[in-house]
Structure 1
């Protein structure tokens, strides 16, 4: 089966290699670069959007998969990885490590193999949506399958609301 032309070619190839030939790619005329834009375009909850965020831990790129309604707690990522330092990657490093621009980074199909942390909160949904390699395309998958295909380890790396128990 041929992949839809709307998916980024590298991502379409990754889907094919993983045997995910029945995954539907949805394209939108307006960018779905932010989680809020994607949720509005799809008509789903903000927390059903998977953000694929690149961080740098002790000089190495790391992918964190986080729901669209939450923020990553960098200190929790640092502790989970046992790293000395963790910081958000800049746009150039994101493109260099993944092959995609910020706003279109999918959870897998990257240029560089990297460690992947997936926030446990993604598992509360039956279906989640993630970027398909461009700011205009998304795809849906069950969270367990998405995390497995990304090679992710489950972790609690979301920022907790002020006053919440850690």
Structure 2
């Protein structure tokens, strides 16, 4: 899943987790550096990314300084399917290439037993 979150200070960030995963709120807050975050609404997602919810590609639309976070466990997958910009289509990409393409910060967002920032 490619999600857009908004921090209380106005920053918007891209968060990538597996389709069957949910980000732990406390981990996400610490990774972003904000005590108050919320998922962006559909209109905000469209305005910020230019894409509809469910089709957001994780790269090639972000302005300079836009931060992207990738769930660390996804690095263990051989290939990931990410939004292609058109609902119902995916781009298949290796995790290392995804990190490079969107300059993602790799963090643990889904496992309470692991540190947020892996070594």
1:142 aligned residue (78, 91, 94): 94
Which segments of 5 or more consecutive residues in structure 1 lack a partner in the other structure? 1-50
Q: CA RMSD in A?
A: 1.5
Q: Could you say which residue in structure 1 is the equivalent of 2:109? A: 157
The answer as to 2:37 corresponding to 1:86 is: yes
Pairs aligned (count): 112
1:147 and 1:97 map into 2 onto residues whose CA distance is 20
Q: Could you say which residue in structure 1 is the equivalent of 2:54? A: 103
Which segments of 5 or more consecutive residues in structure 2 lack a partner in the other structure? 115-119
2:46 and 2:62 map into 1 onto residues whose CA distance is 9
Give me the TM-score of the superposition, normalised by structure 1: 0.63
Where do residues 54-65 of structure 1 align in structure 2 (5 Å cutoff)?
54-58=4-8, 59-65=10-16
8 A Cα contact 1:99 1:111, kept in partner: no
Aligned-partner SS, 1:154: strand
CA gap of 1:81–1:125, structure 2 versus 1, over 3 A, is: same
8 A Cα contact 1:56 1:62, kept in partner: yes
Quote how far apart the aligned CAs of 1:153 are: 0.5
Give me the TM-score of the superposition, normalised by structure 2: 0.86
Aligned-partner SS, 1:63: strand
CA gap of 1:119–1:111, structure 2 versus 1, over 3 A, is: closer
Q: Could you say which residue in structure 1 is the equivalent of 2:117? A: none
Quote how far apart the aligned CAs of 1:57 are: 1.4
Q: Kindly name which structure, 1 or 2, has the bigger radius of gyration based on alpha carbons.
A: 1
Question: Deviating runs (4+, > 6 A) in structure 1?
Answer: none
